[in-house]
Amino acid sequence: MIHPSALKEGGLPLVACCVSAAEHSSVPITVHFDHGTSKLELMEAIVLGFDSLMVDGSHLPFKDNISHTKYISFLAHSKGMLVEAELGRLSGTEDGLTVEDYEAKLTDVNQAEEFIDETDIDALAVCIGNVHGKYPSSGPNLKLDLLKDLHALSSKKGVLLVLHGASGLSAELIKGCIERGVRKFNVNTEVRKAYMDSLSRPKSDLIHLMASAKEAMKAVVAEKMRLFGSSGKA
């Protein structure tokens, strides 16, 4: 999963490396462009070889989100790409971008039906109290009843549900989300923390430092794959 900041910071070689690694992998790997907001960066992602992309128009008024997502969805589908979009707005911080609590908004079921019908998306990222980054000390407060209603709608439409902000969720909450239709979880904070924690421990050489950091991240990813039920499914 590659964030738009990678493109802004001259990350085209990184994208090419990821696409090549996926093509030569012994297991199926999807290279996903996450949280694309502008039309320019999304159109760039369409021609760079990604398998799927996320159209994030959650900052736009509802009707503008529809038209923005519909346009990109049409272009991406013409290239055989899967399209994820977001309805509602998550609070929290990701890659330096912060959405305050007062800006956050839960996904509306009635709006979701119109949004899915109009945009022809393949997956919908929902806002049910999940946040980017760290949850408050009181813990997550996910609206599982809302998720159940969204699943009842999306399953009829053939659209998968996505939950961003899965870092810090308990095994019980993850199970509840899976039972209510979530088929993709986004985890970022815990993976980054494992990397940074590893860097803070003394190493004898730069090579050992980087190797240790990568192993720390791999351990978190492996744990999440088991938790999400995707381990051994390739």
Check 34, 101, 120, 205 and give the catalytic one.
Answer: 34
Does residue 34 have an active-site annotation? yes
Domain ranges for the chain, please list them: 4-186, 188-234
Tell me how far apart the alpha carbons of residues 56 and 218 are, in angstroms, rounded to a whole number: 27
pLDDT for res 3: 73
Beta bridge partners of 44: none
- Cβ partners under 8 Å of residue 145, min gap 6: none
The pair of structure tokens assigned to 226 is: 């088991």
Pick left, alpha or beta for residue 186 (phi over 0 → left; psi -120 to 50 → alpha; otherwise beta): beta
Q: How do the pLDDT tens digits run along the chain, 234 residues long?
A: 877 766 666 678 889 999 999 999 999 999 999 999 999 999 999 999 999 999 999 999 999 999 999 999 999 999 999 999 999 977 555 554 444 454 468 999 999 999 999 999 999 999 999 988 888 888 888 999 999 999 999 999 999 999 999 999 999 999 999 999 999 999 999 999 999 999 988 878 888 899 999 999 999 999 999 999 999 887
Pairing of the two strands 160-163 and 97-99: unpaired
pTM of the predicted model, to two decimals?
0.89
3.20.20.70, 1.10.3190.10, 2.60.120.650, 3.40.1710.10: CATH of 4-186: 3.20.20.70
pLDDT for res 80: 97
Q: What was the pLDDT predicted at 103?
A: 43
